[in-house]
Amino acid sequence: MGTSPEDMTPLDRLGASRRNFLALASAGTGAVALSACAAGGGGDDDESDAGGAPEGGGEVSDDNPFGMAEDEPVDVVIFNGGYGDQYAKDSGEKYQELHPDSEAKVSSTVNIQSDLQPRFIGGNPPDLFDNSGAQSMNASALISEGSLAELDSLIDAPSLDGDGTIGDTLLPGVLSPGTYSGKLFALNYMYTVFALWYSAKQFEDKGWETPKTWDDVMTIGEAAKGEDLALFAWGGQNAADYYHELAISMAIKEAGPDLAKKLDSLDDDAYSQDAVVAAFTAIEDAVSAGYFLSGGAGIKHTEAQTEWVTGKAVMYPSGSWIENEQRDTTPDDYEMTGAATPMLSESAAMGEAAMHGAAGEPFMVPAKAANGAGGLEFLRVMLSKEMCQNFSELTSSMTIVQDTIPEDAFGSTALASVNAMTEAAGDDVFNFNFTDWYGLGDDFKPLWAEFLNGGLTAEQALEKSQEVIDKVREDDGIEKFDVE
């Protein structure tokens, strides 16, 4: 399956690999198993109940918007990865409090596919599952076979907090990753802000200002080099891919959201757009200037991150999971802080506060769940402010629900900075999906490792990147998703 669970980064976990599914689907018995899994059930050829919205057997009311039968249990399976499973267990207790006649069974695993595939085949899938991790199930395959329920009724349901619908409480753009050709099949619970991370204490000690443009970043790089510090750390292919995210984010911020659409559409000139060329060239300039910590090709991304937080490098591009991931190695007085993606120029189309924000940790309701309405109700509980704050306090990460982070951010400087960036950006948030939709991580990671190691020029990296998306676009065996 490629990357092992212990080596899988949170960036990988934001989307399942379609390439991995296609490889398995052509491998003899694997094709039968996955086909049966996607079809959703145990020799039953009747697909009439596949897809659509879950229906319950109870009376619909404001307190029971999905018509859940109050005496039916709800079966929830959680991926027990970087965010653990305590937040879900706590939501189970809250659910039980609200629905004392409906038992909430919350179990967890690191092997979603191998544990749930037999249940899909046997016709007894869980009512709700967290489709994350290295062994996640392929969402697009499940969707194409009608094995997932549509979740729009969840978004239209009243919030548990009584402040309008659930949709009214969500941050901008968070439904996009779970929406396939206009239909919502996955509710991504965790909100990631991609940023340049640094030590606020170090910046204060050195007299450095938070960078707003790439020129500002390079100025810090020159000052750091004068003190025998690297500007950036990187390690292996996983961390190299974080710089691909940085380059694409800078390019979208420079050119505007239409560039993201060109990339998601796999356009034949996507990687020759002026802003993309400028972003790759900017990274090349930093490599050529010697601003990257040497030896990155021979270490893991977690080792590179440890080198960064222990003072060998100044900055690191990553999602907002970084504090939780490096909690055991970060000095107590580090004051980890994020800065929004730097502008390539002062005239960037999206402005200084614009940021790359994406929702991850996809929760899905199987079309043939015994209590799909209960699965939706469990999600409604998870989306209450109380449970969202509980998640943030446990993990130092945000959920997709707005206005849930207190002023002290539970003592986390990283979470406080993420909250500040989110508030400053407002609706000026962008995202791109092509790498996740088509499982391109395994293609871009070695390419970027070679680029950061000085083995490729920016021009060569651009050409190879275009070849990656051209190959997908021209493969009629790969389903293409609509770009809105």
Q: What is the mean pLDDT of residues 221-236?
A: 95
**Spatial distance between the Cα atoms of 383 and 377, rounded to a whole number of angstroms:** 10
The pLDDT value recorded for residue 237 is 72
How sure is the predictor about 278, in pLDDT bands with cuts at 50, 70 and 90?
very high
DSSP annotation of 312? S
For the cut 50, the answer to whether the pLDDT of residue 28 exceeds it is no
* Pair 135, 21: CB distance under 8 Å: no
Q: Which helix (H) or strand (E) holds 106?
A: strand 104-109
> What does the DSSP assignment read for 167-215?
HHHBPTTTTGGGEETTEE--EEEEEEEEEEEEEHHHHHHHTPPPP-BHH
Amino acid at 325: E
Q: At what angle do helices 236-255 and 301-309 cross, to 10 degrees?
A: 70
Taking alpha carbons only, the member of 155, 180, 184, 125 closest to residue 372 is 125
Taking alpha carbons only, the member of 140, 154, 142, 141 closest to residue 374 is 154
The distance of Cα 448 from the centroid of its chain, to the nearest Å, equals 20
Backbone angles phi, psi at 343, to 5 degrees: -80, 145
**Spatial distance between the Cα atoms of 61 and 97, rounded to a whole number of angstroms:** 18
Token pair 């960037």 in the structure block, residue: 348
Q: Extract the tokens encoding 158.
A: 């009243």
* Pair 481, 180: CB distance under 8 Å: yes
Give the alpha-carbon dihedral of 333, 336, 337, 342, to 10 degrees.
130
Backbone angles phi, psi at 340, to 5 degrees: -60, 150
Task: Work out the mean pLDDT of the chain and round it to a whole number.
Answer: 88
The distance of Cα 138 from the centroid of its chain, to the nearest Å, equals 15
Taking alpha carbons only, the member of 315, 342, 350 closest to residue 200 is 315
Q: Do you know the residue count of the chain?
A: 484
* Pair 94, 124: CB distance under 8 Å: no
Spell 373-404 as b/e; 16+ CB within 10 A means b: bbbbbbbbbbbbbebbbbbbbebbbbbbbbeb
CATH of domain 193-357+434-473: 3.40.190.10
Q: What is the mean pLDDT of residues 30-55?
A: 41
Q: Return the SS3 of 415.
A: helix
Q: Extract the tokens encoding 186.
A: 């996955």
Residues 235-256: tens digit of each pLDDT: 877 778 899 999 999 999 999 9
Question: Fold for domain 10-29+52-190+362-409?
Answer: D-Maltodextrin-Binding Protein; domain 2 (3.40.190)
Range in 131-140, 352-361, 387-396, 439-448 the model is least confident about: 131-140
Token pair 């697009």 in the structure block, residue: 140
DSSP annotation of 82? T
List, in order, residues 6 or more apart from 109 with CB less than 8 Å away.
Answer: 77, 78, 79, 80, 115
Residue with the bigger pLDDT between 29 and 294: it is: 294
Amino acid at 58: G
Q: What is the mean pLDDT of residues 303-328?
A: 93
Q: What is the mean pLDDT of residues 344-350?
A: 96
Is there a common fold for 10-29+52-190+362-409 and 193-357+434-473?
A: yes
The pLDDT value recorded for residue 23 is 30
Spell 17-54 as b/e; 16+ CB within 10 A means b: bbbbbbebbeeeeeeebbebbbbbbeeeeeeebbbebb
Residue with the bigger pLDDT between 378 and 58: it is: 378
* Pair 160, 383: CB distance under 8 Å: yes
The pLDDT value recorded for residue 29 is 27
Q: What is the CA radius of gyration of the chain?
A: 22
The pLDDT value recorded for residue 6 is 42
Token pair 């753009």 in the structure block, residue: 173
Domain limits, the chain: 10-29+52-190+362-409, 193-357+434-473
Q: Return the SS3 of 367.
A: coil
Taking alpha carbons only, the member of 173, 186, 77, 125 closest to residue 437 is 186
Q: Extract the tokens encoding 386.
A: 């109380």
**Spatial distance between the Cα atoms of 267 and 242, rounded to a whole number of angstroms:** 22
In the chain, the percentage of residues whose pLDDT exceeds 70 is 89
